[in-house]
Amino acid sequence: MTAIPTHPRGRGVFAALTTLVLTAIVLTMAGVIAGVITAPASHAASTLGAAASEKGRTFGAAVANNHLGEAPYASTLNTEFSGVTPENEMKWDTIEPAQGQFNFGPADAIVNHAQSRNMKIRGHTLVWHSQLAGWVSGISTGTALTTAMRNHINGVMAHYAGDIVYWDVVNEAFNEDGTRRQSVFQQRIGNGYIEDAFRTARAADPSAKLCYNDFNIDGQNAKSNAVFQLVSDFKARGVPIDCVGLQGHFIVGQIPGDIQANIQRFANLGVDVNITELDIRMPTPASAANLQTQANNYATVVNACLAVARCTSITVWGIPDKYSWVPSTFPGQGAPLLFDDNYNKKPAYNSTLTALGGTSSSPPTTPPTTSPPTTPPPGACRVTYAMSTWNTGFTTNITIANTGSTAINGWSLVFTLPSGQAITSGWNATYSPASGQVTARNVSYNGTIAAGQSTGIGFQATHTGNTGRPASFTLNGAACTVA
Ligand code: XIL
């Protein structure tokens, strides 16, 4: 009799199947009972993970094992995210610190945490020049390094076989000019090491999707062109590759304008695209204006991903700002994430949730409608309406400036969209209705515009050929000048 194969991390396949069947029965029964008692409620999702999943996407965070014991860290992770990437625990120096000796404990803790909460796991990363165990760099021949690399991939992937949705097989193999980085793998093995790693990985865990991951390949440039060539070549020759990871380490205000086009061109090659390490840094201490721009930038990235069906997963590189890698790597920069040092939701959180189609579950304690808006005198507002169009759609970033001398508390901006235009999603405001005369109302965190200050909102829309702009704007009933 054949023994039931046992999962390397201890779960029997039979036990897992039994659990699945029982869960299915219980869920079906629950569905029947719920169907009798109540009709399913229709409401917008109120967490990043739930909103993303309604769009068929995963919204994950990089997680550090040493923070998992901190209550607000774990509860924010558990509440908001549907995916995890171990931030350092699967890197070579941690997981195979001495040749053939694997240290799976730290990564196992994250994997167990994720699995018990049904989160999807990205494996990061198998072959990378950085955070590499010292013994690997000491290997002097290509043959010996190929053997060590294959053993590493086999050892790590076998341990997590069936657990990982996407594996970053090779990380950061290119220079900015598109040439190969002169890592120890490149130097000892040569150009073929990437292909060897992917072939080894496919055999080690055929259920995992295999990714090439890099930074500064978010827009179209020499480096992303080189990755594009690599993926095209792999696809043409049947070398296994399933995904490209765009790390998405951005500077506030500097999201490449062609990010969606870049995601699309990779998707067109027949691979998934993941945004794998999203963060948007700024000089610290953070200014209110930069936090607002950051919110707009997060929405831009999310919208670019949502616009491409094969962009399946977005991962932010950390949970609260205080644990981000940015301040120690880029001195003077920080505040790049969605939660501040005290786990408060930042404007970027709200814009991200809105872009994902969700709405905040904690409305402002004083909703904007309950405080009578202060009507600015005529001409006390100025609107900038910046459009970025493509054949069937466009995005618009609107800046509303208070040019008067008193603060605006609670606002609604009214404008009329040209015919054929319809809003599909927006950020930093609620938009109603989607076409015709639209009213954009402030959300909880941007109702006040101090004298001389401005706030940014925006939306994505479809059009049927007419890419004209609204002729006029009124803020709380008063006409605005248009910049
Ligand atoms: C970073 C981690 O966030 C830090 O904790 C660590 O000290 C250095 O590495 N590109 C990658 C990630 O692929 O693995 C890096 O993570 C950030 C840049």
SS (HEC) of the chain: CCCCCECCCCCEHHHHHHHHHHHHHHHHHHHHHHHHHCCCCCCCCCCHHHHHHHCCCEEEEEECHHHCCCHHHHHHHHHHCCEEEECCCCCHHHHCCECCECCCHHHHHHHHHHHHCCCEEEEEEEECCCCCCHHHHCCCCHHHHHHHHHHHHHHHHHHCCCCCCEEEEEECCECCCCCECCCHHHHHHCCCHHHHHHHHHHHHCCCCEEEEEECCCCCCCHHHHHHHHHHHHHHHHCCCCCEEEECCEEECCCCCCCHHHHHHHHHHCCCEEEEEEEEEEEECCCCHHHHHHHHHHHHHHHHHHHCCCCEEEEEECCCEHHHCCHHHHCCCEECCCCECCCCCECHHHHHHHHHCCCCCCCCCCCCHHHCCCCCCCCCCEEEEEEEEECCCEEEEEEEEEECCCCCEECCEEEEECCCCCEEEEEECEEEECCCCEEEEEECCCCCEECCCCEEEEEEEEECCCCCCCCCCEEECCEECEEC
Strand order in the sheet with 381-389: 422-427, 454-462, 393-402, 381-389, 481-482
Q: Which atom of ligand 1 is nearest to the CA of 317?
A: 3
- What's the CA gap between 111 and 442, in Å, rounded? 40
Determine the angle formed by the axes of helices 222-237 and 193-204, rounding to 10 degrees.
60
Q: How far, in Å, from the CA of 124 to the mean position of ligand 1? A: 10
**Rounded to 5 degrees, what angle do the CA atoms 187, 193, 196 make?**
160
Q: How far is CA 1 from CA 19, 23, 433, in A?
A: 23, 28, 66
Instruction: Give the number of the atom of ligand 1 that is nearest the alpha carbon of residue 215.
Output: 10
Report pLDDT for 366.
43
Q: Is 172 a catalytic residue?
A: yes
Distance of CA 166 to the CA centre of its chain: 14
- Sort strands 209-214 and 166-171 into parallel, antiparallel or unpaired: parallel
- The protein residue whose alpha carbon is closest to atom 12 in ligand 1 is 87
Q: What are the Cα distances from residue 437, in Å, to 265, 365, 416?
A: 35, 29, 4
Asked if residue 155 lies in contact with residue 118, where contact means CB atoms within 8 angstroms, the answer is: no
- Count of all residues that appear for the chain in the document: 483
Q: Is 75 exposed, middle or buried (0-12, 13-18, 19+ CB in 10 A)?
A: exposed
How far, in Å, is the centroid of ligand 1 from the Cα of 326?
Answer: 9
Per-residue pLDDT at 476: 86
| Atom number, ligand 1, closest to the C-alpha of residue 213 | 13
Partners of 398 in the β-ladder: 385, 457
Ramachandran angles phi, psi of 98, nearest 5° = -125, 150
Cβ(80) – ligand 1 distance below 6 Å: no
Global confidence as pTM = 0.72
Note the pLDDT of residue 257. Answer: 98
- How far is it, in rounded angstroms, from Cα 119 to Cα 83? 5
User: If you take atom 1 of ligand 1, which residue's CA is the nearest one?
Assistant: 325
325 CA to middle of ligand 1, Å? 7
Question: 171: which strand partners?
Answer: 213
Residue at 203: amino acid letter: A
Q: Which of 88, 94, 92 is nearest to 184 (CA)?
A: 92
Kindly give the distance from the C-alpha atom of residue 7 to the centroid of ligand 1, in angstroms, as a whole number: 29
- For ligand 1, mutation pick of 217, 325, 326 (most atoms within 8 Å of CB): 325
Q: Does 87 contact ligand 1 (Cβ within 6 A)?
A: yes
* Active-site position among 70, 89, 172, 195: 172
Q: How far is the centre of ligand 1, averaged over its atoms, from the C-alpha of 307 (Å)?
A: 28
- 88 C-alpha vs ligand 1 centroid, how far in Å? 7
pLDDT score recorded for residue 56: 98
Q: What is the pLDDT of residue 21?
A: 46
Closest atom of ligand 1 to 64 CA is 5
Whether 80 is catalytic is no
- Distance between CA atoms of residues 181 and 174, nearest Å: 5
Q: Does residue 104's CB lie within 6 angstroms of at least one atom of ligand 1?
A: no
Neighbours of 464 (CB within 10 A): 11
Work out the number of other CB atoms within 10 angstroms of the CB of residue 312.
22
pLDDT of residue 463: 87
Residue 202 structure tokens: 């496919």
- Kindly give the confidence (pLDDT) of every residue in the chain, 483 residues in length, as a single tens digit, with 9 standing for 90 and above: 344 444 566 543 334 444 444 444 444 444 444 444 443 445 789 999 999 999 999 999 999 999 999 999 999 999 999 999 999 999 999 999 999 999 999 999 999 999 999 999 999 999 999 999 999 999 999 999 999 999 999 999 999 999 999 999 999 999 999 999 999 999 999 999 999 999 999 999 999 999 999 999 999 999 999 999 999 999 999 999 999 999 999 999 999 999 999 999 999 999 999 999 999 999 999 999 999 999 999 999 999 999 999 999 999 999 999 999 999 999 999 999 999 999 999 999 999 999 999 997 654 444 444 444 455 555 688 898 888 777 788 778 788 988 888 888 888 899 999 989 998 877 778 888 888 889 898 887 678 888 888 888 888 788 888 888 998 988 888 888 898
What per-residue confidence (pLDDT) applies to 367? 43
Establish whether residue 323 lines the binding site of ligand 1, counting it when its CB lies within 6 angstroms of any ligand atom. no
